[in-house]
Amino acid sequence: MLQATMLHLPKFPTLLHLPSLNKENNLLQKMPKIIKSTSSIFSNEQSGKNPLLTTIFYSLDDLVSNFLDSPLPPSIDPRHLLSGNFAPVEELPPTACEVVEGSIPASLNGAYIRNGPNPQFFPRGPYHPFDGDGMLHSVTISGGRATFCSRYVRTYKFKTEAESGRAFFPSPFSSCHGGLATAARFLLTVARGAFGHFEPSENGFGTANTSLACFNGGLYALCESDLPYQIQLAEDGDIITLGRCDFGGGRDMTERMTAHPHADPDTGEVFAFKCNVFAPFLTFFTIDSEGRKGSDLVISSMKRMACVHDFGLTKRFIVFQDVQIEMDPTEVVRGRTPLVCHRDKVPRIGVLPREAADDGGLVWIETPGLNLLHITNAWEGDCGGRIVIVAPNFLAADRGFLDTSLMHSQFEMIELDINEKKVVSRYVLSRKNMEFGVINQAYAGKKNRYMYAAVIAEMPKAGGVVKTDLSKAAAEGGDCTVARRDFGEGCYGGEPYFVAREGAEEEDDGYLVTYVHKESSEESWFWVMDAKSPTLDIVARVRLPGRVPYGYHGLFVSEKHLKENSCD
């Protein structure tokens, strides 16, 4: 899911001169003096090795949480958000699973891995569902037998907080709640950096909790606010973090990457981007087949930081959107989240030639009422200069990021004319609240017919999965659903993933896999469904030895590629 970043924040001396804050409390005026007076005491010692300084930071954390935080609404209250199957789980080493229904097909020899937030320490202050340390849950399959494993991604944030015994890294989603509390947390972060308590400028502070990607022979855990972390699956099914990867582009905190890179299987080239709070607000780049990052291509016509989360990649073009949701750092000074929705802004789609050296050939097309976070697929139409996009339109852009339970999206198919710079057609594929659309990856960037998506009960909980036939799209907005599988009363899953059957010749000949959880018994399963069946029949259900909290994106890696330690 979206991980907008607060990197590149300027110095904020104005925080100490806001009359409204000083009238409420003079803590902000005193804190710089406290930091200055204590710096000489600890200047020769690392705070991580200094119990007294660590205790001081802990005490200041407690002061902010206990006395400066205003009452937390349910949308950012960890006691509310981290309950039920959103509650964190402990790591689980490789453990054998029981197949309780059907049998696992031979085509599924490999591993299904899914990412999601799972806080290492229960938050003391505000929390957002996009926060939380990345935890990977994998089912490794061989010869019809399954092994389950849950492991944290060993990010710099995870390891540093583990050593300190407490969470303290800032979050762009939840740290900005209440004027005094926001300013105090900002100053505490600055103080920790000054005393060497942590060094995000060199090591980043991302959670790696959003998605996974395979390219250039590597498997990566990603989020927007940091560089990817490379991981590896051991022969016994264990998950190993190999480290943070910069692809030769630099490891400082200004370097990061989208959680949704796209690879060209023909060239091995990977396309990606990064967003910035300050200009340049959006930058695209490539990673070649040797794993080397190319030069940045700045989108200079982006005048503010829109929350670009995903993009489409066709044979000749990069397709992305300038949405209404933006990052405004001045909101932090007011004690509010920097994520804002500009209702008067007209969203637009940008189409950029893949081989462009700059953004001179970028074409913008206005798309009123269209806010795309994920793009399921995009391809070039039969007529010259046409682009077709399949994606969920985020309908609650002004509320959904503040309260994810209000997220609502419906899938549309949009056709654009690049030469005329206009929308040719827009078809609603279904009125259901759906997200996490997936396709047969052999059709990525090409015209496809079938899409599978999660039917959302409450983001990111899905009550079922549907199969959509894009060829049935019509101007009157009829429902294009051709198959559906409900998970059952009190049972919820997440994003499905399509795995093609070995030797398959038809687009929908394969399986859908996902995790499903029964809330009443707190049991979690791995489901395998027949993607070609009119009712998405259950092929196998595997009872898991550990609970899998609701999360975000996953993928399947074949046994062949696992053994070769590649994902090509």
374 belongs to an annotated ligand binding site: yes
Residue pair 242/232 in contact by the 8 Å Cβ criterion:
yes
Residue 8: C-alpha distances to residues 180, 204, 250, 329 (Å): 22, 12, 15, 10
Show the tokens assigned to 363.
Answer: 């074409």
Phi, psi of 422, deg, nearest 5: -150, 165
Phi, psi angle pair for 198, to nearest 5°: -155, 160
Residue with tokens 């995790």: 515
CB atoms < 10 A from the CB of 369, how many?
12
Phi then psi dihedrals of residue 168, to 5 deg: -145, -5
Q: How far is CA 93 from CA 90, 97, 146, 402, 558, in A?
A: 10, 12, 13, 35, 21
Which residues does 272 contact at the CB level (< 8 Å), separation at least 6? 257, 258, 261, 262, 284, 285, 286, 287
Distance of CA 166 to the CA centre of its chain: 24
> Which residue type occupies 558?
S
Q: Does an H or E element contain 21, and which?
A: helix 19-24
The amino acid at 232: Q
Report how far residue 533's alpha carbon sits from residue 436's, in angstroms, rounded to the nearest whole number: 20
In this structure, what token pair is assigned to residue 286? 């490539």
Tokens of 536: 């998405």
Would you give the DSSP letter of residue 372?
Answer: B
Give which of 486, 490, 485, 487 is closest to 521, Cα–Cα: 490
Give the list of residues 6+ apart from residue 416 with CB closer than 8 angstroms, or none: 349, 351, 365, 386, 387, 388, 389, 422, 423, 424
> Does 177 show up as a binding residue in the annotation?
no
SS3 504: coil
Binding positions are 260, 309, 374, 553
Binding positions for Fe cation are 260, 309, 374, 553
